[in-house]
Chain A
Amino acid sequence: VNKQGQTRLSQYYNNLSIEEKTILEGELIRKCLSRVDYQCSFLQFREYKIIYRRYASLYLIVGVINQDVNEFAILEMIHNIIEILDKYYENVCELDIMFNIDRTHFIINEIICNGEIIDMNKTNVLKPILLMDKFSVKT
């Protein structure tokens, strides 16, 4: 989500209808954007624990339904995602994520699956997509 409140990329691990998603995102974004620097990066929203992190104009927001979650682990996961994206796109920015929405999704798919962190090893995460890129170039 960028600073203007526009969603750049979203992925759900439970099943909500499109309308529910829109409403949820709208409320959530408003909440996150209204927060200031001295406040902490966690909040409770409906039944979700929200963990967010801001990178320049971009907010990365993760909502977890499970109440006994380790917030810091998620917080760092967000950072790791950014680092991985950074490695792939070489100095990642909002536009990279937007214009390559498909690739970004691929990468996130490697990191999170069924709402759980599955792999944080940068090499491992990027291997499939690099392989795929190589193949595509060949053909």
Chain B
Amino acid sequence: MSDIVEKTLTALPGLFLQNQLGGGPAAAKASFSSRLGSLVRGITALTSKHEEEKLIQQELSSLKATVSAPTTTLKMMKECMVRLIYCEMLGYDASFGYIHAIKLAQQGNLLEKRVGYLAVSLFLHESHELLLLLVNTVVKDLQSTNLVEVCMALTVVSQIFPREMIPAVLPLIEDKLQHSKEIIRRKAVLALYKFHLIAPNQVQHIHIKFRKALCDRDVGVMAASLHIYLRMIKENSSGYKDLTGSFVTILKQVVGGKLPVDFNYHSVPAPWLQIQLLRILGLLGKDDQRTSELMYDVLDESLRRAELNHNVTYAILFECVHTVYSIYPKSELLEKAAKCIGKFVLSPKINLKYLGLKALTYVIQQDPTLALQHQMTIIECLDHPDPIIKRETLELLYRITNAQNVTVIVQKMLEYLHQSKEEYVIVNLVGKIAELAEKYAPDNAWFIQTMNAVFSVGGDVMHPDIPNNFLRLLAEGFDDETEDQQLRLYAVQSYLTLLDMENVFYPQRFLQVMSWVLGEYSYLLDKETPAEVIAKLYKLLMNDSVSSETKTWLIAAVTKLTPQAHSSDTVERLIHEFTISLDTCMRQHAFELKHLHENVELMKSLLPVDRSCEDLAVDASLSFLDGFVAEGLSQGAAPYKPHHQRQEEKLSQEKVLNFEPYGLSFSSSGFTGRQSPAGISLGSDISGNSAETGLKETNSLKLEGIKKLWGKEGYLPKKESKTGNESGALPIPQESIMENVDQAITKKDQSQVLTQSKEEKEKQLLASSLFVGLGSESTVNLLGKADTVSHKFRRKSKIKEAKSGETSHNMTCSSFSSLSNVAYEDDYYLNALHDRGDKELKTFSLNSELLDSESLTELPLVEKFSNCSLSTPSLFADNSMEIFHPPQSIAASVAKESSLASSFLEETTEYIHSNAMEVCNNETISVSSYKIWKDDCLLMVWSVTNKSGLELKSANLEIFPAENFKVTEQPGCCLPIMEAESTKSFQYSVQIEEPFTEGILSGFISYHMMDTHSAQLEFSVNLSLLDFIRPLKISSEDFGKLWLSFANDVKQNVKMSESQAALPSALKTLQQKLRLHIIEIIGNEGLLACQLLPSIPCLLHCRVYADVLALWFRSSCSTLPDYLLYQCQKVMEGS
């Protein structure tokens, strides 16, 4: 049969041509319409995919011939189009016909035109270039007097239209809004809706017309306009509150059956319209009592009216319930809604049950008791044969999980997980299980087992955060040390059992987790010796199914275990095996191991057992990075750094400094200045910490600093002697210790260094991948760790600074060895700075005092900073280094105030700050101030130093209210007593209210001295507009959007000075001086953006002609561009 059809089909074109010549159009039509029929029939009759493909290919080639033949009439063309549509629907490319579709739309009569339009809308997509060819046709048809043609044109516009051509048709369509026929008006509204979707800025000016459409006497037009409103309200509900009344009235009318009968569907009046309206109301009434009150009545009525038993009324009811729960609550309505949900859930109809569960899931967060009412039903649903119902139930359970029920719920989830095969489901579910397990785990065994299940099922598709978080949790542990040990021990044991099983394949991620845990915590085992563990790992290493990345993990684990195993053949075998590996990475590891293995003493010191591993693992990424940078610098190479690491580094440089017992603020500030150009030039997005984390961070921080310090001191001497001797005695350290600052060696081993650096990168990646997880999850532990990191890093960097160029110094880059380095450096540091000690300690005590207040205020900022992704305009995330003025001058000064200042500064270097400036002084006190440009406000810090030897009482600093500014005192600023010769600081955050050029902020400080007299000292500070300008990070695309939406614009040409003749350098100046964000430079044009705090954006478009820079500002604020322009001019002329 299929054969016959095929033959007929191939014969047809010939037949058709004959017909065409002889038979005239009627015959042609018959032949053609039957051709679609026979094509369809032919395909239906075929049995295999292969045959279908053959048939369609034949069809397509005959179509190709026909459409390009000049003799083809439009009528034939139409038939061809229909067949092309059919073919493409079946998944065969018919792109050769696209252009003909456009032609057909251009030339055909009504029906043909319609088919042409249809084909266009089906074939092409929004950004297809051929679409431009259609614009002319559309314009012509819009002006047509034929209603149907206009209709078609509008339909196609509302389906597909090139964005850049909107202006060409917009006026025509606006006209159509006044058309006498409601169908045209409706379609015009829909076309505008389309425009709103693809280019909201271009239809902004006609919002008023939408309102008219909303009030149109025809229901269809009104309904169409609702789409636009739903959309706009979704984006910004506050702007449309005034329309609530109208929507309520409309809904009332609809519900009351005031609409024409033909809107009814199964005697329910316009159900979809109701749903749409309910949705809008839900959005409008969210968290807004006043607006919500307006709609209580109508919601009540909808609930009441929708009592018919029909699917569509359920849909309405569901929407009602949804709305009732999203708006400001009203108990009666809630009650009714709850009753409704009850009805759904209890229904025997499966679809209704589903709907009920869904509603319940939604409601449960607000009203958990409802779940209790239906708990039996929920349990039933859990065992429902339909996996979809199960899934929905699990979703519901996930929302109500707590510490008590977690075991059961997770078990249910795991059951489901084992049954499902679809990747999307697995990824989703695995994430949820892991989250619950971490949050609510009742005991260790359960936790480990659950995670094992998660890893083995989720395997390599799951989100990488999951294993990372898990490891972090293990490493950092909880508050209870013994608990932690048990957890780790349990993990080790369970992994060993898992590895013992033969012929089981675990996902690579799981193996990586295992190898890490075994490497770190095998020492907790009593029974099995490290050698046995190594043997197991070795077996895995030799397994071909293990990926090379995993092997790296494995070998690292072996390395960690080697010092604990007294002698091991396996290790030697392994070394032997892998030193000839083709994989450079593996080879590198093997060599490291080999050399370490030869020198057991060193190895032990490098890989101590009892060190908590999180320090180790994390520190590694920073410290060896540091070393790498050093080497890179010394060789003039540009060091590689992952993004977040850069960020982390930047953070760490400043954040923890003050907790440093050594208090060496000078050298470290010097360091930041020096290090920055190479290291941190472009830090930007980082995975963020949450607010919670931020807060906890500093709290734990203080404690940690101290604890750590002493802990370290305790065992440092021992280690020092070891390492110190070692490094002295060792004949130039092994390959493994590659970061030898000693240049001669590095040069000699240039080639080797190359491999090593590769290796290093790999490690860096590994370590950083660990890091990502750390950063992104908000747990108490995380923060402690972040601090440690910075501690270490800090120390190390200082060391480097202090002794730069001194004796060769082992900076191992391998993650496991770096720990001891830090220890070593600590010691070194101690020695080197011994002489400076006394003085520093004194300052330190001051610093730590300050810290209390400072840290508090800084928390949210830190957090914010780390949260800065591309979307949030962050403070100097990418150009901080250029603007950053290293406070070296301050460093030079030993004066107490300045050291204080610098310590302050360091803490806040994530934000840019000014140098300290003395604003007033007398014989007793001196006040200096600096500005810290934080990303949400300007933070003014006044530090007051008591120069006298007497105690000051009730020192108080007050700022006079200024018209332009809103000044808020930061917490922790009141000082009842000020000891002799101490320094205190006051902080105020300043917000701007109106743009201005220069402003003065003045205040006074008052104090009592020895209960005798009170004194008062006035001061003032100049603030410029620039203090409130922050970069605005947006993409070029957003820039384009914003640009169009801003009305206020200012243009001006500025002559450039010679030093900045090129655009990039000119922009750089602007970036540095004005803190504008450079979005993009295209040829001789540049796009910049900034915002005036709190959030007034301003965009700048620059173009260079010869030595003239044409500036073009646009902003939503009318005065801002002028002020900015003034600043720009000043900057450009000044430099």
Contact = CB atoms under 8 A, between A and B. Distances in A.
Given A44-B391, A114-B159, A132-B114, A70 B92 contact: no
A39 B385 CA distance: 8
A101 interface: yes
Interface in B81-114: 81-82, 85-86, 88-93, 109-111, 114
B370 interface: no
A91 interface: no
Contacts of A117: 272
Contacts of A10: 89
A86 interface: no
A65 interface: no
Of B92, B118, B194, chain A has the most CB atoms within 10 Å of the CB of B118
Interface string B120-151: 01100110000000000000000000011001
B1012 interface: no
B402 interface: no
A116 B272 CA distance: 11
Interface in A73-114: 73, 75-77, 79-80, 98-99, 101-102, 105-106, 109-110, 113-114
A15 B125 contact: yes
Interface in B9-41: 33, 36-37, 40
Contact of B89 (A9, A38, A72): A9
B272 A44 contact: no
Contacts of A109: 118, 121, 155, 159
Nearest to B358: A71
Contacts of A75: 311, 315, 351
Contact of B93 (A18, A41, A80): A18
Interface string B27-63: 0000001001100100110000000000000000000
Contacts of A9: 89
B190 interface: yes
B311 A72 contact: yes
A53 to B, nearest CB: 10
Contacts of B391: 44
A40 B386 contact: yes
A139 B424 CA distance: 54
Given A99-B40, A113-B190, A120 B86 contact: no
Band of interface residues on A: 35 or more
Interface stretch (B262-270, B712-720, B893-901, B1078-1086): B262-270
Given A21-B91, A39-B386, A44-B388, A128 B270 contact: no
Contacts of A136: 109-111
Interface in B336-370: 350-351, 353-355, 358
Contacts of A80: 265
Interface in A1-47: 4, 6-7, 9-11, 15, 18-19, 21-22, 25, 38-47
A76 B315 contact: yes
A41 B386 contact: no
Contact of A40 (B43, B186, B318, B353): B353
Nearest to B118: A105
B223 interface: yes
A73 B197 CA distance: 23
Contacts of B93: 18
Contacts of A101: 36, 82, 85-86, 89
Nearest to B124: A15
Interface in B263-302: 263, 265, 270-273, 275
A132 B115 CA distance: 12
Nearest to A20: B91
B319 interface: yes
Contacts of B322: 70
A77 B275 CA distance: 12
B366 to A, nearest CB: 16
Nearest to A131: B148
Given A11-B122, A18-B92, A118 B109 contact: no
B220 interface: yes
Contacts of A47: 424
A73 B159 contact: no
B64 interface: no
Contact of B82 (A38, A102, A135, A139): A102
A98 B386 CA distance: 32
A118 B118 contact: no
Contacts of A54: none
A128 B183 contact: yes
A44 B425 contact: yes
B1039 interface: no
Contacts of B220: 119, 121, 124
Contact of B227 (A39, A118, A122): A118
B201 interface: no
Nearest to B95: A18
A39 B388 contact: yes
Contact of B272 (A46, A71, A79, A120): A120
A101 B271 CA distance: 28
B388 A40 contact: yes
Nearest to B389: A40
Contacts of B1112: none
A99 B38 CA distance: 10
Given A6-B44, A73-B272, A113-B190, A121 B147 contact: no
Contact of A70 (B81, B126, B319): B319
Contacts of A76: 265, 271, 311-312, 315
Nearest to A72: B315
Nearest to A21: B91
A59 to B, nearest CB: 15
A42 B388 contact: yes
A124 B271 contact: no
A18 to B, nearest CB: 6
Interface string B311-325: 110110011001000
Contacts of B197: 114
A73 B118 contact: no
A132 B110 contact: yes
A41 B91 contact: no
B110 A72 contact: no
Contact of B262 (A46, A70, A116, A122): A122
B158 interface: yes
Nearest to B151: A128
B193 interface: yes
A47 B427 CA distance: 12
Contacts of B424: 44-47
Contacts of B270: 120-121
Nearest to B191: A113
Given A38-B386, A116-B227, 12 more contacts: A40-B353, A44-B391, A73-B315, A101-B86, A106-B118, A113-B159, A127-B183, A131-B147, A132-B110, A132-B111, A132-B148, A135-B111
> Which A-B residue pairs are the 10 nearest by beta carbons?
A72-B315, A22-B91, A15-B125, A73-B315, A39-B386, A40-B350, A76-B312, A123-B262, A40-B354, A136-B111
Interface of A: 4, 6-7, 9-11, 15, 18-19, 21-22, 25, 38-47, 70-73, 75-77, 79-80, 98-99, 101-102, 105-106, 109-110, 113-114, 116-124, 127-128, 131-132, 135-136, 139
12 contacts: A10-B89, A18-B93, A40-B351, A40-B386, A44-B388, A44-B391, A70-B275, A70-B322, A71-B354, A101-B82, A121-B220, A127-B183
Interface of B: 33, 36-37, 40, 43-44, 81-82, 85-86, 88-93, 109-111, 114-115, 118, 121-122, 125-126, 147-148, 151-152, 155, 158-159, 183, 186, 190, 193-194, 197, 219-220, 223-224, 227, 262-263, 265, 270-273, 275, 311-312, 314-315, 318-319, 322, 350-351, 353-355, 358, 385-386, 388-389, 391, 422, 424-425
